[in-house]
Amino acid sequence: MSNSGAGALAWLTGMSDGPPDHSRSAVLRHAETVGAELTELLGTPVDAGRIVTGRAALLGLHRRGRISAGGATRLMPARDGWWALTVSRADDMAALPALVEADTVPEDPWPVIERWAAQRRCDEAVERAVLLDLPASRLGETVAAPPRVVRSGPRSAPRVTAGLLVADLSSMWAGPLCGQILAAAGATVVKVESPARPDGTRAGDPFFYDWINHEKLSYAVDFDRDHERLRALVNAADIVIEGSRAGVLARRGLTPEVLSGPDGRVWLRVTGHGPESQRVAFGDDAAVAGGLVGTSPSGPVFCGDAIADPLTGLESALAVTHSLGRGGGETLEVAMSAVAATYAALPTTASQSPAPAEVPKPPPRTAPAAALGADNAAVESLVSQRNSVPC
């Protein structure tokens, strides 16, 4: 296992004023096994250790115990256990008074939230948060499960990734990471965004956005008014990656059941808590839902940096690659919380270890990702060519 993996994960896990937590070293061993299999199948290097810890290195993040490395999520005790809440969007902050049943909350709302939660059961706290569309989870609420595979179209001959067209409708980290892995293996990946609501990571650290999206074409299309343009792209794609909540794409007629597409198409659906759930999730609260936390002597702490995201990206890329090898014609449903639960089920080791814990090393700088909509003309030309050729 590479030092950029296990040692860096331990360095990112544990209390901020305590030693690194090595209890989840098996997580990196398994992730690097996935990376090695992808490397062999795709013919391009997939460094799982660097993928899992790379964002933290780019942003200079450090372990913070029960505050996530990125700072947006807290792991808190309730009356009967632990739960996590993420506050990363303006709407999240606006919902906090209703969560804690108060008229207002202070600029730093966390002490108020923690006092409120301490008087309630975990399920009660999570249910109220979910009702307000806040990302929240109870520690260990999700059971481990592999990607769900549903037959959704005719198969083709087994295929490799190189030369395939991928429509990446996902955002943030897990889905886009899967798309970037496929792009590095020779697929033409089109990142699809709404001009009104582009991928939120565009507004964050540019080097992280570039790292996850630099080999993709950028296609800007209004999801509400330009159904035909979007439908044409999805119809032409060999692989579709999406992470919408249940019903969002169905209302626009954009589902594998409605759109025929080429034989062997693989439709990847990445969600926080499963395709039927309306719950929003981010990498840290999804990891808590799966029970993937450090087991320090002082109690549960966050493991790594939003770890459910990169693990889900890796597992999704592997699931897509295996599906192509079977001839596709499948819908793959991957839930971040279930991926986290699968990794949480791996054996834990002692929290304190003589093994080195190293500061995460950033991935190599990449070329800048395409500006929003920069490749619209090229994408539409490509789609027109593909849709004019009989399948």
Counted residue by residue, the chain has a size of: 391
CB 138 within 8 A of CB 121: no
Percentage of residues in the chain having pLDDT higher than 70: 96
**One-letter identity of residue 123:** D
Q: Are strands 148-151 and 165-168 parallel, antiparallel or unpaired?
A: unpaired
CB-based contact 264:238 (threshold 8 Å): yes
d(CA 103, CA 179): 43
Residue 145 pLDDT > 60 = yes
Whether pLDDT at 246 is above 80: no
Report residue 322's pLDDT band, with 50, 70 and 90 as the boundaries. very high
- Please give the residue that has the higher pLDDT: either 19 or 258: 19
Mean pLDDT (whole number) for 66-93 = 96
Query: Given pLDDT bands bounded at 50, 70 and 90, which one contains residue 73?
Result: very high
Least confident span in 63-77, 348-362, 367-381 = 348-362
Q: What's the pLDDT tens digit per position in 196-243?
A: 999 999 999 999 999 999 999 999 999 888 888 999 999 999 999 998
Contacts of 248 (CB under 8 A, 6+ apart): none
110-115-120 Cα angle (round to 5): 120
- pLDDT confidence tier of residue 5, bands split at 50, 70 and 90: low
Query: Which residue did the predictor score with more confidence, 355 or 82?
Result: 82
Indicate if the pLDDT at residue 320 is higher than 90. Answer: yes
Confidence of residue 114 (pLDDT cuts 50, 70, 90): very high
Q: What is the pLDDT of residue 276?
A: 87
Place of tokens 């589902």: 255
State mean pLDDT over 100-118. 97
Q: What is the pLDDT of residues 323-356, one digit of tens each?
A: 999 999 999 999 999 999 999 999 999 999 888 8
Lowest average pLDDT, out of 4-18, 55-69, 116-130, 272-286, goes to 4-18
Structure token pair of residue 191: 């990142």
Does 296 or 55 have the greater pLDDT score?
A: 55
State which amino acid sits at residue 345: A
Q: Is the pLDDT score of 1 beyond 50?
A: no
Are residues 302 and 74 in contact, defined by beta-carbon separation less than 8 angstroms? no
pLDDT of residue 345: 98
What integer best gives the mean pLDDT of the chain? 93
Indicate if the pLDDT at residue 2 is higher than 50: no
Mean pLDDT for 22-39 is 96
Whole-prediction pTM: 0.95
At position 265, the amino acid (one-letter code) is R
pLDDT of residue 316: 98
Q: What is the mean pLDDT of the segment spanning 146-162?
A: 95
